[in-house]
């Protein structure tokens, strides 16, 4: 009878450990994490909206390279928006969260070059606006990084609690076995 309660008890301990750890350590609740991912998707959309008119303009000479880069950045921004929405729908997914983080980092690097091209071949004021958008995107990416770090910490703690509880349950089960009974059933 006791052995049937052990798995249920272990599950309860793991779940309650996660809930307590999340509350104590400040990992964002799923709806707060969703907001973080929604904000990075929205910021990506704003950057894309600023860049799309540039793609339609005629770029000649050395500027053609920047036109190609703008197209690449726009494509990456679309991927980032989609990845951020997917991560917002599953904020506990590390793989989706890290996909957003690394894609945002990649967009920022590409955007550096595009900003310089816009400054040099088009409009310095627009380049300033894009730099501001880039800083906003970087802040959002850092929010994602903080969230992921907290989530990893909670998951590691959860795994440690589960291992400790599993060990305790194994010891309890071994001690419950009557003397002389075999270990195999």
- pLDDT at position 14 is 43
- Give CA–CA dist 51/80, Å, rounded: 15
Sorted by where each starts, the structural domains of the chain and their CATH numbers stand as 30-153 (1.20.120.230)
Q: How confident is the model at residue 10 (pLDDT cuts 50, 70, 90)?
A: very low
Higher pLDDT, 18 or 133: 133
Cite the DSSP H helix spans in 26-93: 30-56, 63-89
Tokens of 12: 């309860």
- pLDDT at position 158 is 86
39-48, 49-58, 79-88, 139-148: range with lowest mean pLDDT: 49-58
- pLDDT at position 51 is 93
6-15, 73-82, 141-150: range with lowest mean pLDDT: 6-15
> Residues of 2-25 as b/e, b for ≥16 C-beta within 10 angstroms?
eeeebeeebeebbeebbeebbeee
pTM of the model: 0.72
């Amino acid at each position: 009878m006791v052995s049937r309660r052990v798995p249920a008890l272990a599950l309860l301990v793991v779940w309650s450990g996660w809930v307590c750890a999340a509350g104590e350590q400040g990992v964002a609740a799923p709806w707060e994490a969703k907001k973080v991912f929604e904000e990075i998707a929205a910021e990506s959309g704003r950057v894309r909206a600023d860049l799309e008119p540039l793609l339609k303009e005629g770029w000649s000479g050395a500027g053609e390279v920047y036109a190609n880069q703008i197209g690449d950045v726009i494509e990456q921004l679309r991927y980032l928006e989609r990845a951020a929405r997917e991560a917002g729908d599953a904020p506990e997914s590390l793989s989706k969260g890290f996909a957003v983080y690394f894609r945002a980092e990649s967009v920022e690097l590409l955007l550096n070059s595009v900003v310089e091209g816009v400054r040099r071949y088009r409009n310095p004021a627009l380049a300033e606006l894009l730099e501001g958008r880039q800083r906003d995107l970087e802040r959002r990416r850092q929010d994602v990084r903080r969230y992921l770090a907290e989530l990893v910490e909670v998951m590691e703690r959860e795994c440690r609690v589960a291992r400790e509880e599993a060990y305790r349950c194994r010891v309890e089960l071994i001690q419950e076995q009557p003397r002389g009974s075999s270990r195999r059933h």
